[in-house]
Amino acid sequence: MIYLANDIPAPSAFKVNADPDTLTYNEAMADPDRDRWLESMLVEITSLESKEAWDEVFTDDARTRILPGTWVFRRKRNPDGMITKFKARYCVRGDLQEDDSPTYAPVVAWSSVRIFLVLTMTMGWYTCSIDFSNAFVQAVLEEPIWIHLPRGFLSGLSRLSGGARTCLRLKKSLYGTKFAPRLWYQHLFRTLVDDLGFCQSDHDSCLLTKKDMILVVFVDDAGIGSKRKEDADNLVQQLVDRGFELTREGTFTEFLGIKFDKDESAGTITLTQQGLIQKIVDTTGMQDCNPNWTPASPMALGSDPDGETMREEWLYSSIVGMLLYLSTNTRPDIAFAVSQVARFNHSPKQSHAKAVKMIVRYLFRTADKGTIVKTTSKLELDCYVDADLLA
């Protein structure tokens, strides 16, 4: 058993991450919430050891390269931006594994999630969401992997054996290993399809159906829709009985940072991401900006080869990435403006940063707005095409 060191020093200098909610080891150890991060590290290692994720062995026993690992710390927030958890995750440097076997693992498309929302609301079905705890670790490795001890932890075996060097032999699929997503996908879907009788959609393998039930899965998050609450209860219990560790999180009102506000009387669902918008505003330091009514200038945004180099302190590609996630899920009104700034991630000029800030000022004014999905009383598909297609 490994244990947390008592005298972890605070680093004196390090490069600050562009995302204030995602921290490196050095950032976490120098953060005002250092004690919360240390607690989360202990929770992570205790959880992994309780699942028998590894055996501590002497380094001479390793039959392959001993891989390094890295800590990833993240403040988890709900869609409104409130901090719900301080999460520490120990990840293996899977990029150093020398194996070319397939690694692909699918996730549900957002179009399928919207179909799930419309169908369950139209038919008046019960919904709930579940979160699989330490999902990747629930899948067994086909071959063992040897890794170094996590930074900040000391070896219990070394202390007992007079200081001999030790490492960890992985038995479970730890985060960061090259095949972890695929092994988890195969482990979960083997149970859902082969054991529990779900059928995968031909168009989206992570959209599953069964009599009076529908399921959407995005890695370790899933939404359940069922005609009767008892059916969802039975599914959760069946997964638990088969050894899956999960948390049931109540009605399906949020998913991957997106909040669903249902208005039963109007038959509408409003999808919003106020927490992500607030994060964008905070990261760019625009809390006191002048709000905009439009997200872009009427003039097209060019490459500006002779323009001034961007001088903002925030990372351009990181903010554009957040804007892309926003525009493709709940805010199609900024899609064109975001597509323009996304073309200049490689070497942005100050004019491009100004265009990004214009989008942020518009979002600041319209943070509570989102996509409205309206259902009807009938399960019919309305299709609208361009007039040219009728010729």
CA R_g for the chain: 24
**Arithmetic mean of pLDDT, 275-281:** 93
pLDDT band at 387 (very low <50, low <70, confident <90, very high): low
Give percent above pLDDT 90 in the chain.
65
pLDDT at residue 101, as a whole number: 82
Looking at the predicted structure, is the pLDDT value of residue 224 above 80? yes
Looking at the predicted structure, is the pLDDT value of residue 15 above 70? no
Alpha helices for the chain (secondary structure H): 25-30, 34-50, 110-122, 156-160, 180-189, 229-241, 274-284, 316-329, 335-341, 350-365
pTM: 0.81
Which residues lie below 8 Å from residue 269, measured CB to CB, with a gap of 6+?
Answer: 117, 118, 121, 260, 261, 262, 263, 372, 373, 375
Distance linking the first and last C-alpha atoms of the chain: 73
| Average model confidence (pLDDT) across the chain | 90
**Arithmetic mean of pLDDT, 29-47:** 93
Total residues belonging to the chain: 391
CA angle at residue 103 from 100 to 109, to 5 degrees?
Answer: 150
Looking at the predicted structure, is the pLDDT value of residue 319 above 90? yes
Element spanning 173, H or E:
none
pLDDT at residue 190, as a whole number: 96
Residue type, 381: L
Looking at the predicted structure, is the pLDDT value of residue 196 above 70? yes
pLDDT at residue 354, as a whole number: 96
Looking at the predicted structure, is the pLDDT value of residue 3 above 80? no
pLDDT in tens, 238-255: 999 999 999 998 788 888
**Arithmetic mean of pLDDT, 248-265:** 85
pLDDT at residue 121, as a whole number: 87
Phi/psi at 283 (nearest 5 deg)? Answer: -65, -35
Looking at the predicted structure, is the pLDDT value of residue 13 above 70? no
pLDDT in tens, 148-169: 999 999 887 766 666 688 999 9
pLDDT in tens, 77-107: 887 778 888 999 999 999 898 888 888 999 9
pLDDT at residue 90, as a whole number: 94
pLDDT in tens, 295-314: 999 888 999 999 999 999 99
pLDDT at residue 159, as a whole number: 66
Alpha-carbon distance of 257 to 68, in angstroms, equals 31
Give percent above pLDDT 70 in the chain.
95
Phi/psi at 151 (nearest 5 deg)? Answer: -60, 135
- Name the 3-class secondary structure at 210: strand
pLDDT at residue 389, as a whole number: 61
Which residues lie below 8 Å from residue 346, measured CB to CB, with a gap of 6+?
Answer: none
Bridge partners (DSSP) listed for residue 254:
259
pLDDT at residue 379, as a whole number: 78
Q: Which of 11-20, 338-347, 375-384 has the highest mean pLDDT?
A: 338-347
**Arithmetic mean of pLDDT, 5-12:** 78
pLDDT at residue 355, as a whole number: 97
Which residues lie below 8 Å from residue 264, measured CB to CB, with a gap of 6+?
Answer: 121
Which residues lie below 8 Å from residue 239, measured CB to CB, with a gap of 6+?
Answer: 130, 191, 246
pLDDT at residue 191, as a whole number: 96
Q: For residue 5, what is the DSSP state?
A: -
